[in-house]
Copies of this chain bind each other. A is one copy, B any other.
């Protein structure tokens, strides 16, 4: 007579673990066995909670990870006194994640997007939705500062692209300097653009 976990609890735990592992290792490097083991979840329950199998698990995991980081970004932006601070705050967040995880935790979307986005439409859709959510947050912030909607969306795209690229270089070099340097330049550019 073995206790069963209560409804929904196991699913959430698996999803949380999956989000972390997929984010660090990518789709193909992460096995469902590893996810279930680290989540202390029973081996066989995967296909009950996620009938779509590994693909569904990954898609939902990306959504969870993107949503969580999105909320942190929203908070950061809210508290930023000016656009330059908003950019550097986001960069500092990424730096802290890198340093706090021996350069394992980067962007919760990027690795999966590159590694599985080409093969799986649902996964790519989840990645795209995550990025769109972030872009909307950042663009909304800029728009609130008085720039046109189109400019706001372009600056958001520029900011996110630069940070993602810098994050990629930082991970590859195991050095957070690219993140700092790029963020400073982009912050200056955006300050100038918002002032105009």
- Chain A positions within 8 Å of B, measured between CB atoms, are 24-29, 103-104, 106, 109-111, 113-119, 124, 127-128, 131, 154, 157-158, 160-166, 168-169, 171-174, 178, 181-182, 185-186, 189
- Report whether B29 and A168 are in contact in the complex, using a CB–CB cutoff of 8 Å: no
Measured in the bound complex, the distance between the Cα atoms of B135 and A166 in whole Å is 13
Closest to A170 in B: B161
13 pairs of residues in contact across A and B, judged by CB atoms under 8 Å = A29-B115, A103-B118, A106-B114, A110-B114, A110-B168, A111-B114, A113-B168, A115-B115, A127-B172, A131-B169, A131-B173, A157-B181, A161-B166
Number of copies of chain A assembled together: 2
Known: A160-B165, A164-B165, A165-B168. 5 other contacts (CB 8 A): A29-B119, A114-B114, A157-B178, A157-B181, A158-B182
Measured in the bound complex, the distance between the Cα atoms of B162 and A154 in whole Å is 13
- Report whether B114 and A26 are in contact in the complex, using a CB–CB cutoff of 8 Å: yes
